[in-house]
């Protein structure tokens, strides 16, 4: 495991205030970490010169007493988040040379508080995947074991935090893309409530699911990032004006926790993950929390429902990349039809094509009722049943993923259905629009294991407090 030089922004800011370090020195450190770890392929681009000049500028602001709340924070962003004047490719060939013309609202808010963006992170193409192997720019290695995947789709973001290439990173989560890689890399990954953070400037995959969120090493940093990114944005009609209360840390607070019976009995659950799950349940009980087994009988329906809904939305969202207005135009384009056909055939990878075709199929007139409409009804049911559990409990607990990080280019990578099942525990919160967090609780044969907590709508603070309590347990 890589030990991080700095545990949190609070620690960095303390050192800065004691003049034991400066933003310029931190910039040198993180840039050298990036150079040393290039082979992990976590970053598609590092903004070297810019990072140095911004650090110098923020050092001046600190001296003048005008620095923002995030002065000293070095942030990496997933390559599907727009940053004006910088490239954003969603790890796809079709957008390889595309530059953002504006900055995502969430990122803009962080920049206004003086966060520094160190670079953009590799990910699965258009955020579709669970292993980061679908990137057009090569796979990412897990720093805990370089023969293993880092998870996906925010695999680069997770490894950037894991390998200390930055302090914190932004990912996006549609069905688990922040939480699953967090679990595989021993980091903390938070998917906020749907609507909590503006999606303006996030390249869309499935708009009724997508959320930007933080990947961090400390609960405090996750809370801080959430607080600053959250809130109403007139550029995203689904963003909520619900206020985020500042993080409260109360280690003595006792919670009511339901843990998933089906997860425990699930055939695909690896033994090491099962042991970590049981261990956490025991620790929570010993700590005085009210822990109860709870059945949620839709485990088998969730992955199919998720894939029908998200591929449908993706087929519509990705239609803009045609070589006309957006997307690299094929050199073989001669007329409108060949522009569309050639540009899309050459520009998209295999998995993205599979999903566009699946999505087009489930939305087609003959099959709309059988698939899309039905999936919508199942989604409603999952939402209702999830909320029902959370009327009686503060959290719903299960493992984040059924296994630890798997082999790069291994069995799973050859079978899309197997890969889709990596999302079995994370898609519930996505379908229901609820907040959820992955917390590292154990390590098995050098590989991290994360546990997953889902909470009530807009109650991320309790999730973060619970995560903080869990991190105090011995593993
Ligand atoms: N693995 C899931 C998928 O491929 C989740 C992706 C995501 O959350 N962006 O759809």
pLDDT in tens, 78-110: 999 999 999 999 999 999 999 999 999 999 999
475, pLDDT greater than 70: no
Kindly give the distance from the C-alpha atom of residue 111 to the centroid of ligand 1, in angstroms, as a whole number: 27
pLDDT in tens, 277-327: 999 999 999 999 999 999 998 999 999 999 999 999 999 999 999 999 999
- Closest ligand 1 atom to Cα of 306: 10
Kindly give the distance from the C-alpha atom of residue 389 to the centroid of ligand 1, in angstroms, as a whole number: 25
Residue of 149, 152, 194 best suited for mutating to test ligand 1, as the one with most atoms within 8 Å of CB: 152
What's the pLDDT at 374? 97
The pair of three-digit structure tokens given for residue 392, joined into one six-digit string = 């009686």
What's the pLDDT at 1? 65
Q: In 10 A of CB 357, how many CB atoms?
A: 12
- Topology (CATH) of 1-475: Amidase signature (AS) enzymes (3.90.1300)
Any idea what DSSP says for residue 266? -
Q: Which residue has the higher pLDDT, 195 or 417?
A: 195
Any idea what DSSP says for residue 250? -
pLDDT in tens, 23-62: 999 999 999 999 999 999 999 999 999 999 999 999 999 9
The pair of three-digit structure tokens given for residue 77, joined into one six-digit string = 């962003």
70, pLDDT greater than 80: yes
Using only C-alpha atoms, the chain has a radius of gyration, in whole angstroms, of: 21
447, pLDDT greater than 80: yes
Residue of 92, 122, 129 best suited for mutating to test ligand 1, as the one with most atoms within 8 Å of CB: 129
Which residue CA neighbors atom 10 of ligand 1 most closely?
128
What is d(CA 157, CA 170) in angstroms, rounded to the nearest whole number? 7
Query: pLDDT band at 3, cuts 50/70/90?
Result: confident
The pair of three-digit structure tokens given for residue 323, joined into one six-digit string = 């070589």
Kindly give the distance from the C-alpha atom of residue 189 to the centroid of ligand 1, in angstroms, as a whole number: 14
- Closest ligand 1 atom to Cα of 209: 8
Percentage of the chain with pLDDT > 70? 100
What's the pLDDT at 416? 87
Sign of CA dihedral 453, 456, 460, 461: negative
Mean pLDDT of the chain: 96
Pocket of ligand 1 (CB under 6 A): 127-130, 153, 173-177, 205, 310, 423
What's the pLDDT at 2? 73
């Amino acid at each position: 495991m890589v030990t991080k030089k700095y545990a949190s922004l609070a620690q960095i800011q303390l050192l800065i205030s004691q003049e034991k370090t400066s933003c310029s020195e931190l910039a040198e450190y993180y840039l050298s970490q990036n150079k040393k770890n290039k082979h992990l392929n976590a970053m598609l681009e590092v903004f070297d010169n810019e990072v140095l000049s911004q650090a110098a500028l923020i050092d001046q602001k600190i001296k003048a007493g005008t620095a923002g709340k995030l002065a000293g924070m070095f942030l990496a962003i997933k390559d599907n988040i727009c940053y004006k004047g910088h490239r954003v490719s969603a790890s796809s060939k079709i957008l390889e040379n595309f530059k953002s013309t504006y900055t995502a609202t969430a990122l803009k808010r962080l920049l206004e508080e003086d966060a520094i963006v160190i670079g953009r992170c590799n990910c699965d193409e258009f955020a579709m995947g669970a292993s980061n192997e679908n990137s057009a720019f090569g796979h990412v290695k897990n720093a805990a074991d370089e023969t293993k995947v880092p998870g996906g789709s925010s695999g680069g973001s997770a490894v950037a935090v894991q390998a200390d290439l930055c302090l914190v990173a932004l990912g996006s989560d549609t069905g688990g893309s922040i939480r699953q890689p967090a679990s595989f890399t021993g980091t903390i990954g938070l998917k906020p409530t749907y609507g909590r953070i503006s999606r303006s400037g996030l390249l869309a995959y499935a708009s009724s699911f997508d959320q930007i969120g933080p990947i961090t090493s400390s609960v405090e940093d996750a809370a801080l990032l959430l607080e600053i990114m959250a809130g109403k944005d007139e550029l995203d009609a689904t963003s909520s004006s619900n206020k985020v209360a500042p993080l409260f840390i109360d280690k003595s607070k006792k919670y009511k926790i339901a843990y998933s019976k089906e997860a425990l009995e699930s055939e695909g659950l690896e033994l090491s993950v099962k042991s970590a799950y049981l261990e956490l349940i025991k620790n929570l009980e010993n700590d005085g929390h009210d822990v109860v087994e709870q059945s949620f009988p839709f485990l088998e329906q969730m992955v199919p429902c998720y894939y029908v809904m998200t591929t449908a939305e993706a087929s519509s969202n990705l239609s803009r990349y045609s070589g006309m207005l957006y997307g690299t135009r094929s050199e073989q384009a001669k007329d409108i039809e060949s522009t569309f056909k050639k540009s899309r055939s050459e520009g998209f990878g295999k998995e993205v094509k599979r999903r566009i075709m699946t999505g087009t199929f489930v939305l087609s007139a003959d099959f709309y009722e059988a698939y899309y409409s039905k999936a919508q009804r199942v989604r409603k049911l999952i939402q209702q049943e999830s909320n029902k559990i959370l009327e009686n409990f503060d959290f719903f607990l299960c493992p984040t993923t059924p296994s630890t990080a798997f082999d790069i280019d291994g069995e799973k990578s050859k079978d899309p259905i197997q890969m889709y099942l990596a999302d079995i525990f994370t898609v519930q919160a996505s379908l229901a629009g609820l907040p959820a967090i992955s917390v590292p609780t154990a390590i098995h044969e050098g590989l991290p294991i994360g546990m997953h907590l889902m909470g009530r709508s807009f109650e991320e603070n309790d999730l973060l407090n619970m995560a903080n309590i869990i991190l105090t347990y011995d593993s």
